[in-house]
Amino acid sequence: MSSIQEQIQEIEDEIRKTQYNKATSHHIGRLKAKIARLRDEVEKKASARGGGEGYSVRKSGDGTVTLVGFPSVGKSTLLNKITGAKSAVGAYEFTTLTVVPGVLEHKGATIQFLDVPGLVKGASSGRGRGREVISVIRNSDMVIFLLDVFQPKHYEVLMDELYQAGIRVDQEPPDVVIKKKERGGIEINSTIDLDLDEETIKAVLDEYKIHNASVLIRENITVDQLIDVVLNNRSYVRSLIAVNKVDLAYPQLIEECRELYPNSIFISAHEGINIEVLKDAIYDRLGFIRVYLKPQGQPADMEEPLIVMSGTDIGQICDRLHRDFRRKFRYAQIWGTSAKHPGQRVGLDHRMLDEDILTIIIQK
Ligand SMILES: Nc1nc2c(ncn2[C@@H]2O[C@H](COP(=O)(O)OP(=O)(O)OP(=O)(O)O)[C@@H](O)[C@H]2O)c(=O)[nH]1
Ligand SMILES: [K+]
Ligand SMILES: [Mg+2]
C-alpha cells in the first residue's frame, strides 16, 4: 500500500496525462475530488498530532489583517511602521518566530494586524512554521502579500501554498447548497446555465459518498469550487499586494513589477514611503460599513455606529455584541438601504449595507 503522498502524486500524474474534454470531464472531476479528500485526510492527521496551539491569537477590532511573505521581505518592519508595535527586525531569515499583533486606528475603524514568520515553498505541507502561519491566515479577514521588489515572483508561490491549504483568496464562497437526504438519488437544480455536466457533479459527490441529495446551484462554478463546497472547510480571505524595499530599486525594476501586478502598492517600510496610501487601500479593501444600533422602542444611536466589514450578516453582528446573542436571537428589524420596507423583520443571515439601522430582539 503506497503512502497517501504517493497516492496523491499518482493521481496528479494521471490528471496531467488525461486530455480534458467532455468525455473525460467527469473522470477528471472524480480524480480532483479524490486528491482533495486525501489532502484533507493528511491535514486532519497532522492537526491531530498537534502543533499550532501556541499560535492562537484572539481576534480583535473591526477586521484582522495578516502580513504574509517570504522571510526577510520586511513584514515586521511594516507592522512596526503601521501600528507602532515592536516586532523584532533582523537582516536574517526567521527573525519572527511567533505571531506579533499590532493595532491601527484609521478613519474610525480599529484594524488588527498580525505579523507572522515567513512562508516558504512547502509551507502548506508543514515546512518551516507553515502550518501555524496558515492557521493564523485562515482566521483573518484579509492578507497583505508583502513582496520584495527584487523577488516579486514569490507571489505565485504564496498563492499556491494558500490554495493548497484550503484558503481561497479574493473569492466568494460559491452560491451552492447541498442538502443530504435519506433516499431519492441526486437531484440537481440550477438557476443558470452550467459548464459542469450532471455526470461530473455526481462523480464528485459519489467520491464523498453522497448518493442522495438535492443540489441547488446558483452560479456557474468550476469542479474545484464544487469540491470546496462539499468539503465545507475552506476559508475565504481578501487580499492586497504590497511591494517593499522600493528605496533600493531602479525605476525600471519597479515598472516591471507594476506590469506583473498592476494593482499592487509600492512601499518602503523602512523609509516610510507610501505607508498612508497603503493604510487607505487596506481600509477600502476591508470595505467597512456603518451600522447604527437602535434599542427596541428607542431612537437609534447615530453618534457611534458599529463598524463592520461589507458582507457581514446579523449573526456575525450578534457574535460581536455578546457571546449569547446568536443563541438567544429571536428576530431583527432593519431600516435603510438593505430593508425592503422600514422596519422589515429579518433573520440571522440578512446581510447589512452601509448606514442600516438595526434592532435585535433576543429572548429574555
Ligand atoms: N532597504 C530597505 N530595507 C528594508 C525595508 N524593509 C525592511 N528592510 C530590511 O529587511 C530586513 C528584514 O526585515 P524584517 O522586518 O525583519 O523582515 P521580515 O519579513 O519580518 O523577516 P522574518 O521575520 O525573518 O520573516 C531588515 O534588515 C530590514 O531592515 C525597506 O523598505 N527598505
Ligand atoms: K528578518
Ligand atoms: Mg519578521
ipTM of the complex: 0.99
Percent of the chain whose pLDDT exceeds 70: 98
Q: Output the CA 49–ligand 3 centroid distance in Å.
A: 27
Taken in order 234, 239, 245, 249, the sign of the CA dihedral is positive
Ligand 1 atom 9 nearest Cα: 74
Q: What is the topology classification, in CATH, of domain 55-171+234-286?
A: Rossmann fold (3.40.50)
| Alpha-carbon gap, residue 247 to 225, rounded angstroms | 41
pLDDT, tens digit, 9 for 90 and up, residues 18-29: 988 888 999 999
State the closest ligand 1 atom to the C-alpha of 244, by its place in the atom list counted from 1.
Answer: 31
Q: Output the CA 345–ligand 1 centroid distance in Å.
A: 52
pLDDT, tens digit, 9 for 90 and up, residues 318-333: 998 998 999 999 999 9
Query: For the residues 36-61, what does the mean pLDDT come to?
Result: 76
pLDDT, tens digit, 9 for 90 and up, residues 32-48: 999 999 988 888 887 77
The answer, yes or no, to whether any atom of ligand 1 lies below 6 A from the CB of 247, is: yes
Residues with CB under 5 A from ligand 3 (ion): 75-76, 95-96
Query: For the residues 108-131, what does the mean pLDDT come to?
Result: 90
| Alpha-carbon gap, residue 158 to 254, rounded angstroms | 20
| Alpha-carbon gap, residue 295 to 258, rounded angstroms | 49
How confident is residue 194, by pLDDT bands cut at 50, 70 and 90? very high
| Alpha-carbon gap, residue 165 to 141, rounded angstroms | 16
288-362 CATH, one of 3.10.20.30, 1.10.1040.10, 3.90.1200.10, 3.40.50.1820 = 3.10.20.30
Nearest ligand for residue 247 CA: 1
Calculate the average pLDDT of the chain. Answer: 93
The angle formed by the CA atoms of residues 198, 202 and 207, to the nearest 5 degrees, is: 155
Per-residue pLDDT at 51: 52
- DSSP states of 35-65 as a string? HHHHHHHHHHHHHHT---GGG-----SSEEE
Per-residue pLDDT at 43: 81
Q: Output the CA 357–ligand 1 centroid distance in Å.
A: 44
Per-residue pLDDT at 1: 60
**β-sheet bridge partners, residue 329:** 362
The answer, yes or no, to whether any atom of ligand 1 lies below 6 A from the CB of 94, is: yes
CB 270 within 8 A of CB 254: no
Supply the pTM of this predicted model: 0.88
pLDDT at position 116 over 90: yes
Parse the chain into domains and list their residue ranges: 4-50+174-231, 55-171+234-286, 288-362
pLDDT at position 52 over 50: no
| Alpha-carbon gap, residue 78 to 1, rounded angstroms | 48
The answer, yes or no, to whether any atom of ligand 1 lies below 6 A from the CB of 4, is: no
Taken in order 63, 68, 74, 76, the sign of the CA dihedral is positive
